[in-house]
Chains A and B, each alone.
Chain A
Amino acid sequence: MKIEKLKTDVLIIGGGTAGCYAALTIKRQAPELKVIIAEKANIIRSGCLAAGVNALNAYITPGHTPQFYADYALNDAHGIARKDLLLSMSERLNGVTADLEKLGLVILKDENGDYVTRGNRNIKINGENIKPILANAVTNKPGITVINRLNIRDLILKDGRVTGAYGNSVREEKLYFISSRAVLVATGGAAGLYKPNNPGESRHKMWYCPFNTGAGYAMGIRAGAEMTTLEMRFIALRCKDTIAPTGTLAQGVNAKQINSLGEVYENKYGLTTSQRVWGTVNENANGRGPCYLKTEGITAHQAEDLEKAYLNMAPSQTLKWVARGKNAASENVEIEGTEPYVVGGHTASGYWVDGDRKTTLKGLWAAGDVAGGCPQKYVTGALAEGEIAAKSIVGAIKGKEKIPEIPLNLITAFAAEAQARLDPAEKGEAELLEKKMQQVMDSYAGGIETNYAFTTDSLKTADEKIKALELDYKSAGAADMQDLTHLFEVGERLTVCRALIAHLNSRRETRWHCFDENASYPDRDDDNFRCFINSKYENGEFKIIKRPLV
């Protein structure tokens, strides 16, 4: 097993939206600082934006203010979000958008040269190449080193301070130990905790990037960082089978949600993100399914444009139309809810941070989907948080202390663990553990099987079974380095599952239907739960901390 030790001023874990933009900001602010981006895939197409995106969903359109966006996000979260974080993000949305355009993103403009809006908060783009644009802005730039196919396993801590991180190559028998003066965690959220919509061959045909496996949350939890609002899970309303976006239909051609009787049902349940899913679940449960977005009757020209729009972000949907000899004008698009995810770019789940996106651990910042308290970030919000964190990091480390040394015992311990787990005969253990974990979460922690509902008792069962799987995980082996990575990913998700169960069990109300559908406490309880549910992992258990709304 090869060992590579590296030193840098700033280590960025995850070369996605927030990570790339943070690196770019650091280079602009302090070109003398050295940055390493540790990327599990290849930065050119890694993470959520691999296929592209067809709109910027967080933008302050003419006639609106950053406060308008912050208020919208707070309302959508039914009051549980950080006003300070929402506002500081919202104030930067248009600045980062202008920068994206300079970097090469195509944004639709009208005859006056103004961006064309979609609803009150969106602008239209050609986002097929948005990830290569961001990647090219930081690749081969002086002072920035991108290490692809490096899976970061855990943070390095010294006297309660984060002083770097370590991990493994996904392809070679090689381990990396990186020490740094500051660490930014920007890994993305957690997919694959629950059994997916299509558990067979197409199990990864999911809403969120299936390669975002919760590493960023897990490493923080294990290191004792305070986390917030994990119980606000995210469930996306998607096109049936292809799990392609529905916002393009709802906002782009004003398609309404209808049941099998042709009745528009969305107004009955409310229009927040969670209510749109809840309405669909209810209509199905009450014998009025399947549910659709009513696209029949749009023009042929609109249907053709939709085919192109989907090719730029979720090409499976266009393939499905063409394969069936149909399009959005000739048939309504069936919709369904996905399995639940933990993802702070859409909900308020993640690290408890201050205004600078500093976590509760010294030396560690968080941005994008792992940073909590600030929902509805989308692409531009993740960029904004990357910028805020980067500026704070530059201010914090400029001219200060040396880069710390890597503790030797850590190197020996990780090398020994990797070696012990590697065994060519053991292929498949990661997959078995993953399947079992997803089954447990689906059945007992509010998955698709139970229409997202759980009870106090079912959570108890879930926790017992996940703990048992953690024991199986301890002794599990892997055939090669990639298999080992998959095994570590299962380990991360088991940690996130336990934290999630603790959070679900602590908010004893139902504020967000489906997202947190507590059948033991089916009503909203403002007297006791207009607050944040935070947690800290201590001695193998989760300590729950209630914090007042900020």
Chain B
Amino acid sequence: MSIRINEKCTGCGRCEAVCPGTLIEMKNKRAQIKYPSDCWGCASCLKECRFGAIEFYLAPDIGGNGTYMQVKKEGKYLAWLFYRDGRKIREIKVDSTSSNKY
């Protein structure tokens, strides 16, 4: 399991459209994860969500320490936001117009 959907979901359906495993479905105008343990962790849905409604975490069997992350598009940057106990603990911005160094 890698993602959960919080109360900010507006039911826009962008995550449902893109999931490579067809794991998300719309129920009562909200996104729900139909097969939670089938998630690959690719973060495609996370990049689509405009409402901060999807939280990406590591399940206890691989050790997540209660931390989760979200992604925000900020111009040419993908900003990855890390949270613990409802508090932002880190932000990493990746410039999509420049390459990895490794």
Contact = CB atoms under 8 A, between A and B. Distances in A.
B92 A318 contact: yes
A18 interface: no
B100 A323 contact: no
Given A170-B22, A241-B63, A311-B78, A126 B102 contact: no
B44 A307 contact: no
B80 A41 contact: no
B100 A204 contact: no
A97 interface: no
A50 B42 contact: yes
A311 B69 CA distance: 11
B91 to A, nearest CB: 10
Contacts of A324: 63, 65
B102 A253 contact: yes
29 contacts: A45-B44, A47-B20, A50-B42, A50-B44, A51-B42, A54-B102, A108-B101, A118-B102, A126-B95, A128-B78, A128-B94, A200-B59, A200-B61, A202-B37, A203-B38, A204-B40, A204-B41, A241-B62, A241-B63, A242-B58, A251-B102, A305-B102, A307-B92, A309-B101, A309-B102, A314-B41, A319-B68, A322-B69, A324-B65
B89 interface: yes
Contacts, number: 173
A42 B19 contact: yes
Given A202-B59, A202-B61, A204-B39, A45 B101 contact: no
B43 interface: yes
B40 to A, nearest CB: 5
Interface of A: 40-42, 44-47, 50-51, 54-55, 106-108, 116, 118, 124-129, 149, 170-171, 198, 200-206, 209-211, 241-242, 248, 251-253, 305-309, 311-312, 314-316, 318-320, 322-324, 482, 485
A210 B78 contact: no
Nearest to A200: B61
Given A45-B42, A149-B22, A209-B20, A126 B37 contact: no
Identify the 7 closest CB pairs spanning chains A and B, nearest first.
A252-B102, A108-B99, A323-B67, A50-B42, A51-B42, A323-B65, A241-B62
B5 interface: no
Given A129-B96, A323-B58, 12 more contacts: A124-B99, A201-B59, A202-B1, A202-B61, A241-B58, A308-B92, A315-B56, A316-B58, A319-B82, A320-B64, A323-B67, A324-B65
A54 B100 contact: yes
A53 to B, nearest CB: 10
B21 interface: yes
Task: Identify the interface centre among A47, A55, A323: most chain B CB within 10 Å of its CB.
Answer: A323
Contact of A106 (B68, B84, B96, B102): B96
